[in-house]
Amino acid sequence: MIFDELRPKIQKLIQEQHISVTDRLHQICVLLKEEVAHYDWVGFYFKNGDKKELKLKTYVGAPTDHEIIPFGKGICGQVAESNQNFVVPDVQAQDNYIACSISVKSEIVIPLFKNGENIGQIDIDSNQKDPFTEADERFLEFVNKEAAKML
C-alpha cells in the first residue's frame, strides 16, 4: 500500500533539520500530492497567533484565495473548533463548505496537535467523490504526529 511506502519518506523529511520547517512542510505537501492519486490539493493551516483564525502556511495544488479561515467557517474552521477529523465525501452536500475550486468534489481535514493542543491541520482536496478511507485518516494522523515533532 502506498501509505506504508510513504511513512519512512515522511520521517526522513521531518529529520532534515538543515531545511526550514516551512520548506519541510511544503516538501510533505509535494510528496503527498505526487504520490497519492486522489490528493489534488494538499496544504497545512495553522492557528494565527491568538486570533480565532487559521492561516495557510504552505500548499501545493490550484491557487486559493482562502489564506485566512475564521474558526467555525468551512471544514477547516470547524476542525479548528471540534478537534476532530472531518471527512467530506461530497462537498456539495455540505452546508458549511468554503469552495476553493469547482473541480473539488471531496475533502479531508485532520487536526495537528502539539502537547495536546490543536495548533493546525492538514487539508486535502480531491477532484473525486468519496475517495477517502479510514486508511487515509490513519496515515494523515501519522503525518501530523511526525510534523508536530519539528514544530
Q: For residue 37, what pLDDT is reported? A: 97
Q: What is the mean pLDDT of the chain?
A: 95
Report which of 91, 90, 94, 134 is spatially closest to residue 110, judged by C-alpha positions: 134
Using the 8-state DSSP alphabet, how is residue 110 labeled? E
Strand ranges inside 29-83, DSSP E: 41-47, 53-60, 68-70
Domains in the chain and their CATH numbers? 2-148 (3.30.450.40)
Q: What's the grid cell of residue 38? A: 486522489
Condensed to tens digits (0 to 9), the pLDDT of residues 8-35 reads 999 999 999 999 999 999 999 999 999 9
C-alpha to C-alpha distance for 58 and 61, rounded to whole angstroms: 10
pLDDT in tens, 63-115: 998 999 999 999 999 999 999 999 999 998 887 777 667 899 999 999 999 99
pLDDT at 146: 97
Residue range 110-131, pLDDT digits in tens: 999 999 999 999 999 999 999 9
Cα gap 39→131, rounded to integer Å: 9
Determine the Cα–Cα distance for residues 129 and 114; give it in Å rounded to an integer.
31
